[in-house]
Amino acid sequence: MKLKIHEIFYSLQGESTRVGLPTVFVRLTGCPMRCVYCDTAYAFSGGSNMEIEAIVAKVAEYGTPYVTVTGGEPLAQRDCHVLLKQLCDAGYSVSLETGGAMDIDQVDSRVSVILDIKTPDSGELKNNVWSNLAHLKKTDEVKFVLCSRADYEWAKEILAQYHLAKECAVLFSPVYSRLKPADLAEWILADKLPVRMQLQLHKILWGEVAGK
């Protein structure tokens, strides 16, 4: 059983509530969406096929308990579910970064799902699978990547409509070099939102470097 893998690398987790933790990233090739701010377009194609057992063995070489499966859109490859299960079976603390256009109902319950809800300015609003919200667990996280004040107001409405903060952690993140982080911070404070603001640590440390 094989998956098309673009890269496997070791770095600090730059996003989510796991930010700062030394993590192995398994980046799968391919994505059905084209967000205007995408910073991993290089993973839309290329890569090489790897046996799932070989992927798990490669992860083990880094000696860290934290693994993030990402893309692209990892769930676009059906057998990603098998990889997630095998990583969990091996004792890793596994998170999955998914863009919200694929069903998450079959994801192993031990995986922490980081679900990205696409905003209007992302250009991919139409591809949100809203039924995914019914499958969220306390160990999951919902992320809004915000391009503008209009995106923020929209996200605030979704937050209230679905009572997301009661379901799991909610992250608001400004698009790098497009929305000023201080502006987003002020809006969150003014509205007293029950969300966690996050910046992309890897970009603060290394800039827009592929593979970080």
Q: Using CB atoms within 10 Å of the CB of residue 171, give its burial: 0 to 12 exposed, 13 to 18 middle, 19+ buried.
A: buried
In angstroms, rounded to a whole number, what is the distance separating the alpha carbons of residues 150 and 138? 28
Quick one: tokens of 189?
């404070």
Residue 123: cis peptide before it, omega within 30 degrees of 0: no
Per-residue pLDDT at 176: 86
Residues with Cβ within 8 Å of 7's Cβ and at least 6 positions away in sequence, in order, are 25, 27, 43, 47, 211
Domains detected in the chain: 2-206 (3.20.20.70)
pLDDT tens sequence for the chain (212 residues)? 899 999 999 999 999 999 999 999 999 999 999 999 998 999 999 999 999 999 999 999 999 999 999 999 999 999 999 999 999 999 999 999 999 999 999 999 999 999 999 999 999 999 999 999 999 999 999 999 999 999 999 999 999 999 999 999 999 999 988 899 999 999 999 999 999 999 989 889 988 654 44
pLDDT for the residue 207: 84
List Cβ neighbours of 34 (8 Å cut-off, separation of 6 or more).
Answer: 123, 124
CB atoms under 10 Å from CB of 45, counted, come to 12
Tokens of 158: 């979704």
